[in-house]
Amino acid sequence: MTNTTISITKETKDALLKIGNKGETYDSIIRRLIKKFIWKKMDEKWNEILKNDEFIPLDEL
């Protein structure tokens, strides 16, 4: 895998360190946060579908 460098502020770096676990890389912290964000967005989308759409129970089909 190719690595790249990104520029972040010291404040952001400190926040990542607080979020991370001992020995965890910045890359793994950021990947974990991205996964959580994606799951949260999917959950919001499904909740919106459940709220606004009408469903027929399977036993009624």
Residue 16 lies in a domain: no
Number of domains in the chain: 1
pLDDT-above-90 percentage for the chain: 70
Residue 14 lies in a domain: no
Contacts with 56 (C-beta within 8 Å, 6 or more apart), sequence order = none
pLDDT of residue 6: 94
- Return the closest-CA partner of residue 29 out of 19, 39, 37: 19
Which domain range does residue 29 map to?
25-51
Whose tokens are 């360190």? That residue is 17
For the entire predicted model, the pTM comes to 0.72
pLDDT of residue 3: 92
Residue 56 lies in a domain: no
Please state, in angstroms and rounded to a whole number, the distance separating the CA atoms of residues 36 and 15.
Answer: 16
pLDDT of residue 54: 77
Residues with pLDDT less than 50, the chain = none
Could you tell me if 8 and 19 are in contact, meaning their C-beta atoms sit under 8 angstroms apart? Answer: no
**Residue 52 one-letter amino acid:** N
Residue 32 lies in a domain: yes
pLDDT of residue 60: 79
Residue 2 lies in a domain: no
Residue 12 lies in a domain: no
